[in-house]
Amino acid sequence: MTGVAFEEDAKAKDAGPSTEMEYDKDSIFCTRYIMKNQFAKGSYGTVWVASPKTDPEKEYAVKVIDRSKLREKDQESVHREVQVLKELQDLPNVIPLVDFLEEPRYLYMVQFYAQGGDLFRRLTQRKQYTEKDARDIAVILFQTLDDMHTKHQIVHRDLKPENLLLEDLLTEKIYFADFGFARHVTEEGLKTRCGTPAFVAPEIILGERYKTSVDMWSIGVILFMMLGGYPPFHMEAGGSDLRMLFRKVRAGDFTFHESQWKTVSPQAKCLISRLLTVDPEYRFTAREALESDWVAKLDGQKLSQIDLSASLTSLKKFDGRLSLKGAMNAVKFVISANFWNAEAITFSRQTRKQVISDRIVDEALNAQAKTKFDDEYEVLRKIRKGSCATVYECRHKGTKEIFAVKIIRRAKLKPSEDEFVLNEVSIMQSLSAYGEYVVQLLDFYEEPEYFYLVMDYMGAGDVFDRILKKTKYAESDARKLTKILLKATQCMHEAGVAHRDLKPQNLLLSSEEDDAKIKITDFGFARRVHTPQSLTSRCGTPTFVAPEILKNIPHDQSADLWSIGVIVYLLLVGYPPFMKDTQAELFQQIRSCDWKFHKNDWANISTEAMELIEHLLVPDPVQRWTADQALACAWIQDESSSSTQVDLMTSIESLRERRARLRQFNNPVVWKKDGDSTPVDASLKINDAIGDEGSTGSIAAAAS
């Protein structure tokens, strides 16, 4: 493998080293260099091993490009690559450009001959491999990118294992190679779609303007593979559905599977999560990665004791372009493919490359499924309409079953806002085993003009609606609702999901019957929790939001338990523990944890119920009860307690009286980076003000 890191032509590779003449022997180049053997050949030239005549023992990799096959802009692109390499020669881990010669028939690009293979192939040859080894490599990658991005304002745009080369078979020095897509970043950013599908950032897929942060996404993918042994976004072995791969990337939908990640430090997982953040505004820079706990604080001796040999075993499965072959090469974005495959994008890095790669991406994004929504369902009555989406009752044409469908008009969304929908879809799909407690996503259709989300039809409204209709209401009813909510939350948390917008309106009933199923819905703000206290976007419904979110402290599933504490309080006395005239006053009251049991209202309510609330409305999330602990408490466990039969109709009256005031702060909000909160369309919760993991909106099909 050479410093230019080209994909080797299959025929040339099978035939072995060649001495077939693909250069001008009378050229000025040949007066300086001795051509030894050709080891790669493509549509626009060849790659040779050559030595300078002044030092025949030294070997370089020489790319020989046939100028007759290049357009004018192709040649401009070659010159741009050469200029980038010259500018980066002060960086010790960038592949050195030795020489560049222009002659009438050929262009000659002479580079350092990196004979040690690529990074992953070297790793798979190791007998021992620890997390410290992975960190040492990551530090080199981060330092090089920090220099590229800050000192030179250059973005690579095609970082992947094959473009990280080892100097030779004995040393561990790493070189960044293949700068065919590298560019200087302008103030307005770049927009060309390029890169390798499994490593490309979501903003490139979406055709949005981007800057150096796209490299950090790619490094996040590489680091994930170095530690876990498999890629975070990939197609099934032998698969070729780029549409599904791109959907996962756009949603940032990845998981640290326990079997592969149980020994990896939480600090490493936290760093990866900050690199694989869909919103580039919140994605870590190279400098921030270098200052992260994993890089800057963890003791190397401790990391050297974390064995990653199992990850190497997994990594070997992906070496040699096996399972990753489709993801890496199905779309020939990469410069190696541009150079070697005339049937792919060709060598033009500005015109044909952009047009063809745009075409391929657009086809993948807009590819029609085998069946469309209209083929399977018929739309009935309208249930609710928002600015971006409308919820309808629908009927399956075959089974005649009734469902709810949320239809989202994509023209109303920015391309980046697809993430909000896709994230909620992936969250709901991951909760498919919990149909008893969670509204189920039954079908999802991504079509060019609309998203269709087909879900359980919950036609009897929410828990508040049911409570207000009651003529009898006792503490036992509140306990029953609390138990269902806690069990649903326990299921979500076991699946690694934080809901982040729990409230009575998100508990839906399937029918008007007394024994109707109650399910939790609205996963618009839900996020996967990869490590404790790792969520940083700020969102929620004002009355129910946890203090750590208001304080802008990283949070996790424990924020849901605070919300449940507010709900239980409300279910028992008809008003929440936090009530003020303005949102600012309300937030200050929550931050201060300023609440109490008012004696007159709580005189007849059991001490066991109050004990549960006291352990949920705790400002320190570490000390707050978990769902497991709450389910084990005396109030939930002792169903025979006489206190649970205490009449609470006065609480219902209180709720009726205060309902209008409660609605004042019942709309979900998200916080911008500057700290301002912004209301969200309750039908979708899609909004520009998102945090580092993003915040999606309600895709819940509530028929309320």
Q: What is the pLDDT of residues 601-650, one digit of tens each?
A: 899 899 999 999 999 999 999 999 999 999 999 999 987 665 667 777 88
pLDDT in tens, 327-340: 333 333 332 333 32
- The CA-atom distances, in angstroms, between 499 and each of 576, 587, 675 are 20, 20, 21
| pLDDT above 70 for 664 | no
How far, in Å, CA of 284 to CA of 219, rounded? 11
pLDDT in tens, 202-252: 999 988 999 999 999 999 999 999 999 999 987 655 455 678 888 889 989
Domain 10-112 has CATH 3.90.226.10: no
pTM for the full model?
0.76
Contact by Cβ (8 Å): 39, 18: yes
The alpha carbons of the chain give a radius of gyration, in whole angstroms, of 29
How far, in Å, CA of 381 to CA of 378, rounded? 10
Domain 373-455 has CATH 1.10.260.40: no
Measuring CA to CA, which residue among 531, 126, 170, 532 is closest to residue 308?
126
**Token pair for 296:** 């800057």
> Residues of CATH 3.30.200.20 domain(s) within the chain?
10-112, 373-455
In this prediction, what percent of the chain has a pLDDT beyond 70? 81
Residue 18 is predicted with a pLDDT of: 44
Q: Which residue has the higher pLDDT, 147 or 197?
A: 147
> Residues of CATH 1.10.510.10 domain(s) within the chain?
119-366, 463-679
Other Cβ atoms within 10 Å of 522 Cβ, number: 26
How far, in Å, CA of 567 to CA of 574, rounded? 10
Q: 1.10.510.10, 2.60.40.10, 3.10.20.740, 3.30.1950.10: which CATH number matches 463-679?
A: 1.10.510.10
> Where does 322-475 show beta strands of DSSP type E?
377-385, 389-396, 402-409, 441-446, 450-455
Place of tokens 């989406």: 389
Residue 668 is predicted with a pLDDT of: 79
Contact by Cβ (8 Å): 145, 216: yes
- Annotated active-site residue in 133, 501, 556, 560: 501
pLDDT in tens, 44-102: 788 899 999 999 999 999 999 988 888 888 888 899 999 999 999 999 999 999 999 99
Burial 332-368 (b: 16+ CB within 10 A, else e): bbbbbbbbbbeebbbbbbeebbbebbeebbeebbeee
Alpha helix (H) ranges present in 211-256?
213-228, 242-251
Strand partners, 60: 50, 112
Mean pLDDT computed over 566-582: 92
Reduced to 3 states, what is the DSSP secondary structure of residue 260? helix
Active site (annotated) includes residue 14: no
How far, in Å, CA of 391 to CA of 674, rounded? 33
- The CA-atom distances, in angstroms, between 250 and each of 199, 253, 384, 422 are 12, 8, 27, 7
**Token pair for 127:** 């007998």
The topology under which CATH files domain 119-366 is: Transferase(Phosphotransferase); domain 1 (1.10.510)
**Token pair for 334:** 């990469």
Other Cβ atoms within 10 Å of 89 Cβ, number: 12
Q: Lowest mean pLDDT: which of 285-289, 346-350, 574-578?
A: 346-350
Measuring CA to CA, which residue among 173, 199, 195, 174 is closest to residue 183?
195
Residue 128 is predicted with a pLDDT of: 87
pLDDT in tens, 154-203: 999 999 998 999 998 878 899 999 898 999 999 999 998 888 888 999 99
